[in-house]
Amino acid sequence: MVQAHQSLQIRINSLRDTLRTGQVEMANWRGGTLAVSAVPGSGKSYGISVAAAIAIVQRIHQRAIPLQSQAPPELLLVTFTRSAALHLKRQIRRHLAELQQPITGFTVQTLHGMALGIAAQHPLQSGLNLEQLTLVSPYRSHRLIQTVIDRWIQAHPQTFQDLIEQGGWTGEEAERLRRQSVLRTDILPALATLVVREAKSSGLSPADLMALSTQGRENSAILATAAALYENYQSELLAQRCIDYEDMILGALRSLQDPSVREQWQRRIFAVFEDEAQDSSPLQAKLVESLAATPQDPQTLNLIRVGDPNQAINSTFTPANPALFRDFCHHQTLQGKFAPLHHAGRSSLAIIRYVNRYMDWALQQSPATTDPPFIRQHIQPVPPEDPQPQANPLPIGVGIEQYHPLDIFQTAEGIAQRTLALIHDQPDLTFAVLVRENRQAQFLAEVLSQPAIYGLKTDVTSANLQILDAGLQARLTTVPQDLLTLLKFIARPHSSMHLNAVLRLLSDRQIIAPLAIDQHSAYPEQFLYPMAEEDLPETRSARSLCVKLLRSRWELPLYQLLSFLGLALQYEPEELATADKLVQHLLRLNQGKNSLSQWIQSLEELLRTERFDGVELDPDQQDFCRDRQITIMTMHKAKGLDWDVVFLPFLHESLLFGPLMPLAQARFLGEGSLPEVARQQLRAAVQGQPIPNAAAAWDQAQQLKTAEDYRLLYVAMTRPRRLLWLSACDQAPHRWSHYSWQRQDPLVRQRPCRFLNEISPL
């Protein structure tokens, strides 16, 4: 027994020896609170997984006599995304195996997953019976939001009229109609979604928000409107038997207010380790703290929070509030429970130096009056005796390469050429291209996969390199449109318009070979049922597929038809899962009225009014980092990952550090964007500060955006191990969201980001 214990201790010590200074503090944690603020690549996730394995094992061995009737308490680890949770779980399993211990004693959850679990287990206390409720994530054009707005307009005709008549109102009827429409379809929905989410995730009820706006405070008129919208929103959710993500967290918190439920959970969990803590919202932070409290004393927390304030990149479009983690670090520092991790072994020295210079440059750009984008925490290379194998690897070349191609196609060519040259000498290098917008990823994926069509001389696929477009999710939203196109054709095959659309879809997806679509679709009967089979082989095979589609209508029940159509479109697994999700959605929507025409009508309605979120199969971080692959993804998605070579193309000032663009049609409402202004005012009110006027609030929103842009690029620049490739081409789309490369839309001159000229790469 003693011997077994000793050998376990030896194994623990040797695992602990693989840690660096700040990480050791995590592994030595025995209870209470600890804040870990760490630079990119310093091993936050690695440290947390080793510390978790050690804490689990020690907990098991501390409890010499197990409590009968109760499951032993577990360590709860929370992180932000499902893929990060999966990665963390794997790492902990690996370390427990190294310690020769059973793989139990912990759970890894996302914050939402954890909240859902708690709320679902206690429907009485949470007030959420999840079997009867639908989880929604309402966006601006969601039907629910439109109902909220319409009800508000009906109830507040005078306020609506006042908004219409703002700024240079001349009383013209056409102008009144225009303003009405902008308010109804753009401004008020944006105000409702942005401010409601912010208020809700700060723990404010509609009544709280109303109280904040009416206590004789200046500049709060728009908050009163937001409060009324919030109230409508809540009653609409109730009426439609829906909940949103914030409701899940609120439901979990309500459950934990019940002393017996709280005690049950606190006994189940002996401590909480939170990764990516800079991304938590106030409600999420509260939930984590409730679970980390000891049953005996709610003030005593067993909690490690790990994060990097310099990688906070979600605060402009989610209610994440990085100030919470900064405050936590500050408090822990005062109590001597703060462990900074300054040393990082991921990147070569040249990259580290460049990134530190970039941080200094960004700090210089920010006016002294504003919240700086970074805490000045330079990355330092690890000392020579560091345990990480190949820490701070040698750079490829000088480690930083900068290019100025002519246009976006030459950029793609440059990426392809450099990749081939590198892979020729070192076949197992890993590559990623990180971009600001999904549309850029789609462009590069398409152009690199079909170089001949776009005039590229270099074909990376010829060297057996895969191209992985991680932004596929964004395009899963085309699934409803694809299926609608097929259903319309099946319902009315004699319509040349429907046949034309189907042939285009099949040809775009490269399921049929190119053929004279317009000519064939002009006479559908002739194409589908020719008197004599004298056509070319590609026409014959396209016809045979179309006839098969038509037959499926008679051979399959409606609910199987969509899955079959998905297979006919050669959908990827995520797309097929999305088609299945769509079937469930349509079945629910059309209870009892399942006919082809009804489904077509519902799909049309869905496309007009709602965004349909695709199903992302459990993403696996390893899939993104394989060799013989070029992974293309957004900078946001790249957080937490690394590759040998990272390409950062399209570094244009307007795209990366450009100002927030208020809607041109909404100028009559004054400077800036009303929803952003309201959100800043709300943040000030929640923090007990005076509510800024519209101009000051807009200014703050701008600064917040620029600061987050600086951090986003910092996250991207800290992903490579050995080569950071940067480029800004001369000619690029004016706006990527409107740009079509298939149509060969014109490009315009774009200015490179200033830091490219102002920071020396050497």
Ligand X SMILES: Nc1ncnc2c1ncn2[C@@H]1O[C@H](COP(=O)(O)OP(=O)(O)OP(=O)(O)O)[C@@H](O)[C@H]1O
**Cβ neighbours of residue 100 under 8 Å, at least 6 residues apart?**
8, 11
Regarding 347 and contact with ligand X (CB under 6 A), the answer is no
The helix (H) or strand (E) run that includes residue 161 is helix 157-164
**Interatomic CA distance for residues 340 and 357, integer angstroms:** 20
Regarding 20 and contact with ligand X (CB under 6 A), the answer is yes
In angstroms, how far is the first alpha carbon of the chain from the final one?
59
Contact stretch for ligand X (CB under 6 A) within 17-25, 160-168, 284-292, 438-446: 17-25
At 596, is the secondary structure helix, strand, or coil? Answer: helix
47/399 with CB nearer ligand X: 47
Regarding 721 and contact with ligand X (CB under 6 A), the answer is no
Regarding 387 and contact with ligand X (CB under 6 A), the answer is yes
346/637 with CB nearer ligand X: 346
Query: Minimum distance from CB of 341 to ligand X (Å)?
Result: 7
313/577 with CB nearer ligand X: 313
**Cβ neighbours of residue 739 under 8 Å, at least 6 residues apart?**
439, 443, 733, 745
The verdict on whether residue 39 carries a ligand-binding annotation is yes
Among 308, 482, 644, 699, binds ligand X (CB under 6 A): 308
Among 718, 722, 724, 725, binds ligand X (CB under 6 A): 718
The verdict on whether residue 43 carries a ligand-binding annotation is yes
40/138 with CB nearer ligand X: 40
388/590 with CB nearer ligand X: 388
Regarding 346 and contact with ligand X (CB under 6 A), the answer is yes
Regarding 46 and contact with ligand X (CB under 6 A), the answer is yes
293/635 with CB nearer ligand X: 635
Regarding 45 and contact with ligand X (CB under 6 A), the answer is yes
Query: Minimum distance from CB of 716 to ligand X (Å)?
Result: 11
Size of the site for ligand X (CB under 6 A): 20
The verdict on whether residue 155 carries a ligand-binding annotation is no
What type of residue sits at position 568? A
At 629, is the secondary structure helix, strand, or coil? Answer: strand
CB 278 within 8 A of CB 328: no
Among 322, 640, 672, 752, binds ligand X (CB under 6 A): 640
CB 31 within 8 A of CB 271: yes
**Interatomic CA distance for residues 301 and 449, integer angstroms:** 52
Query: Minimum distance from CB of 710 to ligand X (Å)?
Result: 16
User: Which two structure tokens, joined as six digits, stand for 756?
Assistant: 């490219």
- Strand locations in 308-360, DSSP E? 338-341, 343-344
Q: Which residue is nearest to ligand X (CB)?
A: 43
Residue 256, number of CB atoms within 10 A of its CB:
24
DSSP string, 173-235: HHHHHHHHHHIIIIIHHHHHHHHHHHHHHTT--HHHHHHHHHSS-TT-HHHHHHHHHHHHHHH
Regarding 82 and contact with ligand X (CB under 6 A), the answer is no
- Strand locations in 358-430, DSSP E? 380-381, 400-403
Contact stretch for ligand X (CB under 6 A) within 40-48, 158-166, 293-301, 589-597: 40-48
HSE, CB side, 13 Å, CA atoms: give it for residue 532.
1
Among 388, 461, 500, 654, binds ligand X (CB under 6 A): 388
Regarding 439 and contact with ligand X (CB under 6 A), the answer is no
Regarding 399 and contact with ligand X (CB under 6 A), the answer is no
389/557 with CB nearer ligand X: 389
Contact stretch for ligand X (CB under 6 A) within 38-46, 203-211, 260-268, 419-427: 38-46
The verdict on whether residue 286 carries a ligand-binding annotation is no
Regarding 38 and contact with ligand X (CB under 6 A), the answer is yes
- Strand locations in 199-335, DSSP E? 242-243, 269-274, 303-307
Contact stretch for ligand X (CB under 6 A) within 36-44, 145-153, 397-405, 561-569: 36-44
**Interatomic CA distance for residues 649 and 435, integer angstroms:** 7
26/472 with CB nearer ligand X: 26
| Residue set of the binding site for ATP | 38-45
Binding positions for ligand X, rule: CB under 6 A: 18-20, 23, 38, 40-46, 308, 311, 345-346, 387-388, 640, 718
Mark the binding-site residues, compressed into ranges.
38-45
